[in-house]
Structure 1
């Protein structure tokens, strides 16, 4: 009887680990080489990543809320903010291949927007990154 109970516990544990691994793969970011900095907007409805190797900026729409996601970057507080809109819908990640001077410091953040000409809102905090 003890062996059957132990076997059942092991089967449940392995099943739980398999489910967790499947969820991690299904929700992971697209694979890019190098170091990334990632940020969420203030609600978690969008995520932005900056990949140091290759200078890739990405934006992912995480909620079915009717809003698009925006990745923003700037060189420093007070400098021009550059916006990249992703209107692909829930679960879509869009990537832009930028070209920065090697070692250049910048900041990124994630926001929501309604349309490519919409004003970004519900933005997250700025996060430091390096090209």
Structure 2
């Protein structure tokens, strides 16, 4: 093979490697959604409310999935011992309340969903804390 042929192959190989390396950081911005659904308790049905965290945009959503007269209160925190924040949605079935945040890409996020009726959080409907990742990659 001529020197020119070897240089072209070497240059092509280096270019392909550069493309692969350049694409790797984009994986850190994975668009992943994490969910916590309410559980059945008394007259309240399972999945009547949802707290969702979208890693792309660091967006939290408290969504009402059922016409039961109760609102949805979602909780979120960064790290297992972090400060607990809440997001309430009393808009009715098919609505979501949204909160956009700016979290560190290395953050581990925990979310939880409960129903709230007449200002009273129905503890029996609360989901467990669900773990998510701000970069979308576990």
Name structure 2 gaps, 5 residues minimum.
1-29, 40-45
Q: 1:27-47: CA deviations, max 9, x gaps?
A: xxxxxx811111201121101
Q: Which moved more, 1:69-78 or 1:95-104?
A: 69-78
The number of residues matched between the two structures is 98
CA contact (8 A) 1:70 1:120 kept: no
SS at match of 2:105: coil
Q: How does 1:81-96 map to 2 (within 5 A)?
A: 81-96=84-99
Q: 1:58 aligns with which of 41, 58, 61?
A: 61
Q: Normalization by structure 2: what TM-score? A: 0.63
Cα distance in 2, alignment partners of residues 105 and 112 from structure 1: 24
Q: Does 1:74 align with 2:77?
A: yes
Q: Normalization by structure 1: what TM-score? A: 0.66
CA contact (8 A) 2:114 2:121 kept: no
How far apart are 1:72 and its partner, in Å?
0.8
Calculate the aligned-residue CA RMSD, in Å: 1.9
SS at match of 1:49: strand
Larger radius of gyration: 2
Q: Which moved more, 1:119-128 or 1:104-113?
A: 119-128
Q: Which residue is 1:100 aligned to?
A: 103
How far apart are 1:118 and its partner, in Å?
4.1
CA contact (8 A) 1:70 1:84 kept: yes
Name structure 1 gaps, 5 residues minimum.
1-32
Cα distance in 2, alignment partners of residues 104 and 44 from structure 1: 26
Q: 1:1-20: CA deviations, max 9, x gaps?
A: xxxxxxxxxxxxxxxxxxxx
Q: Which residue is 2:36 aligned to?
A: 39
How far apart are 1:78 and its partner, in Å?
4.5
CA contact (8 A) 1:73 1:81 kept: yes
